[in-house]
Amino acid sequence: MIDALHTFYQKSKQYSDIPNELFHKYNVKKGLRNDDGTGVRVGLTRIADVVGYKYVDEVKTDDEGKLYYRGIELRDIIANISKNQVCGYEETCFLLLFGYLPNREELQDFCKILKDHYELPDDFLETKFLHMPGKNIMNRLQQAVLALYDYDDAADDISVENTLEQGLNILAKLPSIICYAYQSKMHRYNKKSLVIHPVQQKLSIAENILYMLRKDHRFSELEARILDMMLIVHADHGGGNNSTFTNVVISSTGTDIYSSIVGAIGSMKGPRHGGANLKVSSMMKEVIREIGYTDNDVEIKALLYRILNKEFYDCSGLIYGMGHAIYTLSDPRSEVLQGYIEKLAESKHKSNEYEFYQRFERCAKEVIWDVKGIHVSSNVDFYSGFVYEMMGIPEDLYTPLFVTARTVGWLAHNIENKAYDGRIMRPATKYVGAVKEYVKMEER
């Protein structure tokens, strides 16, 4: 059967080929991107803005990277929000959803709403995780979110206010879902001891993740603040990123929020999107295995040239964690991370490792400039895996944590599209195949 499918597919190529020149002839943008790499605009938003270049006399030029949440720059948010108690992510959620910074009472009320939704349904842990552990945590997340639909008496009510309540319910439950999905997987497939901690009403989302994940449920204030900050920097990235766009496209059909978020999670799983942090982690492990934590720039650059020449790691020619589709001169999320990594590295006795990452990044910029003549910066994925590793967070949870953080962004854009667009997304494609007549079976 497999051989037959292979034969069918090979034969189909003569009927399916689309020459590259046709894309230019009909002005079709591959990947919804212009020739200069900028994205084709597909909507309007007041939620977030991603700035990596600007136009001077209609010519695209590189610019310092900036990320705005409701008009407030990410660096400004992190610099001020981190001074408060460890609920910066919750405050960021409020900002993204409602468009303004809450006062103390409003933030307390909002946090209470989230905490009131922390608990999973009574039989959820047993039936969805312990009895049915999954090999892939991201797939298990999709199944768990979709299962919540059956516990919702108004699951198909797609009004803006009901969607908001449903989305917050999903968001509040994600810390339990990702931790229980991981623990049940490790128990079933890796024969590890099963330790389940119930979610704690008194803790923030970041604190609860650390509490439930660790056997001794202990964590430092620094760890909680850094994880809180990680959730903030991943909370949104404009309406054009793949998973947010997927969520809005699905929602535009009039379906429920559960289906929309499940689709977004599927998008996030891909290594070109949310799974990119895993590719960085895997690459750096191979790099360190090959040359160790060397301080020799010549040795590092030699390995980088091998990567670009498709002679090392996965032979793709890509240095994962370097460069971004929008950011050119700098990724603000990466810069924000580096402002905190040093403190964490010192506390974990990993300063030498952090210095190697910084040296590797600098050498990679120089090598890419030498080979390709373009300036790149490290993106958020380059350092995020290293941060998670220092906090003892397993690789299986790198991308699920991204899901936890980004769910508020998906929800905000979902609601904005419902309220101010409301049409089903139906872009057009151009048929470039031949017009043929049906041939009877006996004549084929």
Write down the pLDDT at residue 32. Answer: 81
Last residue of one domain, picked from the residues 372, 390, 408: 390
**Same domain, yes or no: 179 and 287:** no
Q: In this predicted model, what pLDDT tens digit does every residue of 142-163 receive, in sequence order?
A: 999 999 999 999 999 999 999 9
* CA torsion angle 154 157 160 163 (round to 10): 50
**Same domain, yes or no: 247 and 298:** no
Query: 266 vs 143, 175, 263, CA distance in Å?
Result: 11, 18, 5
Residue 46, both tokens: 């007041």
347 domain-assigned: yes
Q: Which domain holds residue 329?
A: 276-390
Which positions are annotated as active-site residues?
324, 381
DSSP calls for 225-241 = HHHHHHHHHTS---TTS
Q: How far apart are the C-alpha atoms of 65 and 60, rounded to whole Å?
A: 14
Contacts of 144 (CB under 8 A, 6+ apart): 124, 128, 129, 177, 181
Average pLDDT over residues 421-441: 90
Q: How far apart are the C-alpha atoms of 103 and 250, rounded to whole Å?
A: 34
CATH value at residue 311: 1.10.230.10
Q: How far apart are the C-alpha atoms of 211 and 93, rounded to whole Å?
A: 21
Half-sphere exposure of 277 (CA within 13 A, CB side): 26
Contacts of 392 (CB under 8 A, 6+ apart): 214
Q: Based on the structure, what is the number of domains in the chain?
A: 2
**Same domain, yes or no: 265 and 166:** yes
Share of the chain above pLDDT 90, in %: 72
For the chain, the average pLDDT equals 92
**Same domain, yes or no: 135 and 251:** yes
**Same domain, yes or no: 223 and 345:** no
Write down the pLDDT at residue 1. Answer: 61
- Beta-bridged to residue 51, according to DSSP, are 66
**Same domain, yes or no: 257 and 287:** no
**Same domain, yes or no: 299 and 415:** no
Rg of the chain's alpha carbons, rounded to an integer?
23
Q: Residue 56: in which H helix or E strand, if any?
A: strand 48-56
**Same domain, yes or no: 213 and 126:** yes
50 domain-assigned: no
Q: In this predicted model, what pLDDT tens digit does every residue of 82-125 receive, in sequence order?
A: 565 689 999 999 999 999 999 999 999 999 999 999 999 999 99
171 domain-assigned: yes
**Same domain, yes or no: 263 and 319:** no
